[in-house]
Amino acid sequence: TSTLRSVLKETIPERREQLLKLKKFHGQVKIPAGDITIGSVLGGMRGNKSIFWQSTTLDPMDGIKFHGMTIKQCQEQLPGDANDHQFYPESMLWLLLTGKVPTVEQTNELISELNGRAENGRLPECTEKLLDNLPNNMHPMTQLAIAVASLNYGSQFAKGYQAGTINKLNYWESTLEDSLTLISRLPALVGKIYSKITQDGSPLGQFNSSKDWSYNICSLMGMTAGGDSLNNNNLSPQQSQDFVNLMRLYTGIHADHEGGNVSAHTTHLVGSALSDPFLSYSSGLMGLAGPLHGLAAQEVVRFLVEMNGSIKNVNDPKQISEYLWSLLSSNRVIPGYGHAVLRNTDPRFQAMLEFAERRSDEFKDDANVQLMMTLPKVAPAVLKEHGKCKNPYPNVDSASGVLFQHYGVTQLLFITAIFGCSRALGPLSQLVWDRIYGLPIERPKSMDLEALQKLV
């Protein structure tokens, strides 16, 4: 990472000085809006601006921006697969870490760096054994969180901290080392877990050191074409290429969603206790495993399959609308719709939809994908009339599951584990910056019912 480190080192002094000045001279300045109210203390802290997060911001109407860049701009400017306008997750990682668009050479350098750390897709012996000893049908997210936590056995940060050999100003360097190691291990981890839940844990594909991170996620899941796949995945060469690009798209756009979502905030919070990146991100994964967060993608597939089985004509808005009403009246949510911050269609959903629209021939006979594409024309009106949710539009999870399923990833439980690969990129980049800035341990004040009652 010589270039990555030197680019970071060039940026650090100025950034550190800016933060120090803010803290020292303007610490008393009030943040406009986001006042803390009884409603917010009891209501999941919505709107309270209280987390420092640099790499992404979430606008309620425009959605996610990566250092100010929209998904479209990332697709235009970040190096990747030119044939599909699809950037490599490594170029996204570079952007998240440095705030700058990498050159093709810098992206390739980061690809080599991660591949070098991946040890040809071999996991450390203790992690491999640990996974072998977990039941094959244990939820993939539980397996992933356990495996990621076990990687802390080799943490450079934890070792250096224990030995007292690292200066506080340099904590970020071993945090970066650990973060890159963690990210590089994820393809092998999810490949192994995918094999455990689909067969017996033996390798499904081979690591390819000349390819990018997303390709290797696909390859170790046995989903690529040619020599890298060890099982018969029934995909044509074009389909496996499309699957790799779907993975690049998915992992690129799920990388980060500012700091307040459960997985990002948990990583940041646990990291603030100076827990190493493996432990911090393992905690983030446990939050991602909740049905209101990352697990929603799995719920969406179940919901679309059920709806397909229940209604006669999936192109009839009336029948779809009736089905949605039956769901709502039994107090169930419409999965893949609504958001805590967004108040518009999620541009990440839009990007996945465009992926499907560009391949209309491929998807024309897939009833679940067709329903996913029709639903945004019906569900928002139903949710508006229902009148409860603040955002009646599709979120990212609406599309991803059925697209993965189309190519043969039929183990719905596994979809959140792919999310877990992607989400590592943002929160771990932020963790490096948390160490650069020397942010303190998080310790907000809690209040009991009596203290709140006294206020009114």
Residues that bind ligand FAM (CB under 6 A): 292-294, 296, 328, 333-340, 388-391, 395-397
The residue with tokens 């802290």 is 45
Give me the residues paired with residue 58 across strands.
64
Which residue's CB is nearer to ligand FAM, number 248 or number 257?
A: 257
Which residue's CB is nearer to ligand FAM, number 261 or number 429?
A: 261
Of 400, 393, 399, 391, the residue nearest 379 (C-alpha): 393
Which residue's CB is nearer to ligand FAM, number 166 or number 296?
A: 296
Min CB(448)–ligand FAM separation in Å: 23
Full DSSP string of 187-256: HHHHHHHHHHHHSSSS--B---TTS-HHHHHHHHTT-SSGGGB-S-----HHHHHHHHHHHHHHHHHTS-
Cα–Cα distances in angstroms (integers) from residue 152 to residues 126, 181, 283, in the given order: 11, 10, 13
Gap between the Cα atoms of 48 and 32, Å rounded: 10
Which residue's CB is nearer to ligand FAM, number 222 or number 259?
A: 259
- Catalytic positions, written as ranges: 293, 339, 397
Whether 107 and 90 have beta carbons less than 8 Å apart is answered as yes
Min CB(343)–ligand FAM separation in Å: 9
DSSP at 340: S
Gap between the Cα atoms of 365 and 342, Å rounded: 32
In this chain, which residue has its C-beta nearest to ligand FAM? 338
Min CB(371)–ligand FAM separation in Å: 16
What is the CB-side half-sphere exposure of residue 452 using CA atoms within 13 A?
A: 12
Min CB(57)–ligand FAM separation in Å: 16
Min CB(68)–ligand FAM separation in Å: 21
Which residue's CB is nearer to ligand FAM, number 111 or number 334?
A: 334
